[in-house]
Homo-oligomer: A and B are copies of this chain.
Amino acid sequence: MAFVALADLAARVPDGALLAIPPDNSLTPAAFARALVRRGVRGLRLLGVPVSGYVCDLLIGAGCVASLQTSAASIGETGLAPRFARALAAGTLQVTDATCPAIHTMLQAAEKGVPFMPLRGVLGSDLVPHRPDWKVVENPFAAGDPILLVPALSPEVAAFHAVCADDDGNVYVGRRRELATIAHASRRTLVTVERHYPGNLLEDEAMAAGTISGVYVDAIALAPRGAAPSGLLDEYAADAAHLAEYARAARSDEGFAAYLAQYVTLAEAVA
């Protein structure tokens, strides 16, 4: 599988796509999101797996997003996601609330190819009446035991940033094995990586356990430090100062525009 340019990877996300994104701290595709902003994608339906952070907030602020399904929106220690909150208040973003294990479960149902999967808990939460796509049924194996069923969810596209990829399209995510489920459940998976891996990751016993097979991967682009300002495993730490700067700037329209100009539109325009 030949690597493509970052801009070409971003071009593979059609307007209006249901796009699954892991949050800060979980191989989040930050450079890819900035490339999506430059590409001018519109109408994305984002899925935070299971929550959303910097990447989703940036895409929302840049006007790329029509809707967001997530279990929470927050950035770093600030606990806020300013562009998310602003778009929600302005009525320009349709928000569907979930709870983390429900999003994992919906993806696992897609991963197994079943139309639904049960989940304990959640009953009594107002999430249930606000999710007409969820159903509460009686447990067929025990009388008088109501249980939640959530439907399978197959994102059109999943995107994340991994450590490395080989020529067979295998990508290394290390201990963040949950990324495999996102890839398994999604129709297409686009990956940015720090670097090329010479050889075959699945033929290396030391790397195989942390590798997602190329069978699930559609295209790959190099993007060194592509998770920043989030961190990436033991490769680099999160840039807390940058995340705080973003959270501050994004409180105002002007601040967000200045951030975009400085870090997104111009800075990486050559990438």
With most chain B CB atoms within 10 A of its CB, the pick from A114, A206, A209 is A209
Chain B residues positioned under 8 Å from A139 (CB to CB): 115-116
Determine the residue in chain B with the shortest Cβ distance to A114: B118
Given A105-B112, A137-B140, A140-B149, A175 and B208 touching (CB < 8 A)?
yes
Q: CB distance A209 to B114 under 8 Å?
A: no
With most chain B CB atoms within 10 A of its CB, the pick from A115, A120, A149 is A115
Residue from the list B116, B141, B209 in contact with A118, Cβ < 8 A: B116
Check A142 for interface membership: any CB of B closer than 8 A: yes
Given A174-B208, A210-B210, A140 and B113 touching (CB < 8 A)?
no
Total number of A residues with any Cβ neighbor in B under 8 Å? 32
Oligomeric state, in number of copies? Answer: 2
Q: CB distance B116 to A141 under 8 Å?
A: yes
Distance in angstroms between the alpha carbons of A139 and B209 in the assembled complex: 35
17 chain-A/chain-B pairs, Cβ below 8 angstroms: A105-B112, A112-B119, A114-B118, A115-B141, A115-B145, A115-B147, A116-B141, A135-B140, A135-B141, A141-B149, A141-B151, A173-B209, A174-B205, A174-B208, A174-B209, A175-B209, A209-B210
Given A177-B209, A209-B177, A209-B210, A147 and B234 touching (CB < 8 A)?
no
Q: Chain A, 134-154, contact with B by CB distance < 8 Å: what is the 0/1 string?
A: 010101111001010101000
Chain A interface (Cβ < 8 Å from any Cβ of B):
105, 112-120, 135, 137, 139-142, 145, 147, 149, 151, 173-175, 177, 202, 205-206, 208-210, 233-234
Given A112-B105, A140-B135, A210-B210, A175 and B117 touching (CB < 8 A)?
no
Q: CB distance B175 to A205 under 8 Å?
A: yes
Nearest-neighbour CB distance to chain B for A188, whole angstroms, equals: 22
